[in-house]
A and B are shown apart, each in its own frame.
Chain A
């Protein structure tokens, strides 16, 4: 069987990952906003005698990489030596996409253009002459609709045909001005004599990159002892002039090709443009976003509540049945207090997680979340955060781990560090069970409002922290925010349901592994030493809780809550699991909390705020360490989180107690 290695390249948000999923039959996360993919994902597709290995690259507008994710894409294109490159082009915006094509063509690799979203283009009155496009580029063009799986078989056949072609790829040449071509041929000839140092790069292409001012390549050649004699580093104006000429030639080529192959038969005012007048309005934009989020959290709590009650009933039924069976008390305690009490108290919140993911998927699918990032930019920029940071923040509502990785789309290191430090303040779904539990027990009908408040507080604390770090540590201005707004789309119920299922399944897996492990440890600690009353202050869990409890006494937390916080470091869901184990099972948890004389609504609110802010989970900390590449900033992220959590919980407890007179 012949193996073919292809790369999927293209601008951000043109449907690369959707095509990747269609090609490989997998379900990588896709989103209707740029920057979803930040690292290379690889999959496989078998067809006849061929095994196609597909690598999905992060989106990039050009090969002059500015951000870490763009560097990943560029390095893969220039050094991995694929059999073919498939460039996915958004059919509704061909001219802008062709700029990258002009760069990819010069690498000299076999190429295929996958013209995606042809259905949307037709709806918008855009007619594309694919034959003309193919003839002009000298690259095979295949029309596809990746979302619906249309044109995929034809694309695979073309990939096999192009990749197995023995002759070298010859694409359309860009017509550069004479001043540029003379420089290129001089440098190209010189590099041809040192071709071994260039790896898989062609001398001609390397010459163009050098003339464009590719510092990365220049540095690489310099390290190999090669200095280009024709590049006068002292005359930056001349070099800038040549780079500009190259840029203009590329734009001219893109325009020429578009003019001949694309016809627009409708007016250019799109419904999306008219809708954006309101949704991105400077006064109404943020209130509309907050309103949508408020309803999302109301629904998360209320719509999932009947399911929650139903699951509680099922667990209660099993506990009752088990109590009726004659068995060893130790085993009974393990099953009822440890397994059902611990894991069960986490599993009852699965419906809430599913509802939240469904709603976020729908908002994302419509293209509204990208608008939310846009409207937040003014606010974000004023406090020293990059507007694009809001996208990782939004991802952080699901899970902080991919959100931290999504900061690779940020160009400046200072912007990245600030965003990474502030992402753990976003309420990930692992914290939702804590909110649903405590808000439900202590705030009744106002629970939805309390949960909304906690989410907004997370954003507010993130912004406040960014402001402090920008003023005290990174005094430079955040880089300007440029983001392409994706088109509005009707949300697909199926896609939203699939997204919800995959995200929810992750939660269930965590419940089965990490959370189960965590609550078993808590159960063992609550049982030992032998002979003590289960979960009492004399058990190991009680002793540990009481050792640390004085630290949390100013916040009003009892030792059970402290144990929850300690084990919540493993994963935030373990907070509820631990409390379920210590308070005598999930069936008893709510009534036990409500009846606990050491707790009242203000302490509950302070506890939820502390859980929101105090520490990222172990997995998130690992990724912070990986992305920061040092322990210093990881330590600062931990310390800052604990400090902020303590201060906010303290303020809420004491101000709240004054207000209600507790």
Chain B
């Protein structure tokens, strides 16, 4: 990151933080799915694996950035984009479940709509997505970017 200047270094640092939180969210989801957990999040083994995949994308961005290899912006952008889009999908999925339970006259809790670990991981990724997408389009227009 020698040639990375403000605000890139903050985005780079934020990518590191999101890597950690996404990884933790993925592990918790898998543990919940395996029956070892706190009950805070929805048990979701495939979802947990997807979160770990996204964490791997962020980790690749961090590694590429450290060695000044090109591409950290691309990895950070796609990781954040996938996380935010999947969180949106997770809200729709849980809303679907919630409405189905209501319509079938069964007990349903509104909080389940936001209890997917994707949503909590994505909250941190939103500022990253905004910052990195500006950087990405700046790069493509020949602007000042670290690639």
Contact = CB atoms under 8 A, between A and B. Distances in A.
Given A270-B140, A274-B136, A302 B92 contact: yes
A284 interface: yes
A287 B71 contact: no
Nearest to B143: A267
A275 interface: yes
Interface stretch (B5-13, B94-102, B123-131): B94-102
Tell me the dominant secondary structure on chain A's binding face: helix
A194 to B, nearest CB: 56
Q: What interface size band does chain A fall in?
A: 20 to 34
Interface string B53-96: 10011001000000000010111011000100010010011111
A306 B46 contact: no
B140 A305 contact: no
A167 to B, nearest CB: 46
B141 interface: yes
Contacts of A199: none
Interface stretch (A288-296, A329-337, A468-476): A288-296
Interface in A295-316: 295, 298-299, 301-306, 309-310, 313
B24 interface: no
A302 B140 contact: no
B56 A305 contact: no
Given A275-B77, A305-B97, A305-B100, A295 B89 contact: yes
Contacts of B56: 284
Given A267-B142, A275-B74, A449-B46, A298 B53 contact: no
Contacts of B73: 274
Contacts of A269: 139-140, 142, 147
B104 interface: yes
Contacts of A267: 139-142
A113 B104 CA distance: 59
Nearest to B78: A278
A278 B60 CA distance: 10
A279 B78 contact: yes
Contacts, number: 92
A661 interface: no
B50, B56, B94 pick with most chain A CB within 10 angstroms: B50
A271 B140 contact: yes
A291 B77 contact: no
A278 B74 contact: yes
Contact of B46 (A125, A274, A284, A294): A294
A306 B86 contact: no
A270 B74 CA distance: 11
Nearest to B81: A275
A303 B53 contact: no
Contact of A306 (B75, B103, B136): B103
B86 A295 contact: yes
Contact of B82 (A291, A302, A305): A291
Interface residues of B, number: 32
Contact of A266 (B46, B94, B141): B141
Tell me the dominant secondary structure on chain B's binding face: helix
Given A309-B103, A310-B103, A298 B74 contact: no
B136 A271 contact: yes
Given A287-B53, A288-B53, A291-B50, A298 B141 contact: no
A277 interface: yes
A424 to B, nearest CB: 27
B46 A277 contact: no
A271 B53 contact: no
Contact of A298 (B93, B95, B99, B137): B93
Contacts of A298: 89, 93
Contact of A275 (B46, B78, B97): B78
A526 to B, nearest CB: 29
B139 A274 contact: yes
Nearest to A298: B93
A305 B99 CA distance: 8
Contact of B140 (A274, A277, A295, A452): A274
Contacts of B77: 274-275, 278
A306 B98 CA distance: 9
A299 B46 contact: no
Contacts of A291: 50, 53, 82, 86
Contacts of A279: 78
A423 to B, nearest CB: 27
Contacts of A275: 74, 77-78, 136
A294 B82 CA distance: 13
Interface in B17-64: 46, 50, 53, 56-57, 60
B34 to A, nearest CB: 14
Contacts of B50: 291, 294-295
Contacts of A301: 96
A269, A278, A291 pick with most chain B CB within 10 angstroms: A278
A44 B93 CA distance: 44
Nearest to B103: A309
A134 B122 CA distance: 51
14 contacts: A267-B142, A269-B139, A271-B140, A274-B139, A277-B71, A277-B75, A278-B57, A284-B56, A288-B53, A298-B93, A303-B95, A304-B96, A306-B100, A310-B103
* 8 tightest Cβ-Cβ pairs between the two chains A and B: A267-B142, A302-B96, A306-B99, A278-B78, A302-B93, A274-B74, A305-B100, A303-B96
Given A274-B74, A278-B57, A288-B82, 5 more contacts: A267-B139, A288-B78, A299-B96, A302-B92, A310-B103
Interface of A: 125, 266-267, 269-271, 273-275, 277-279, 284, 287-288, 291, 294-295, 298-299, 301-306, 309-310, 313, 445, 448-449, 452
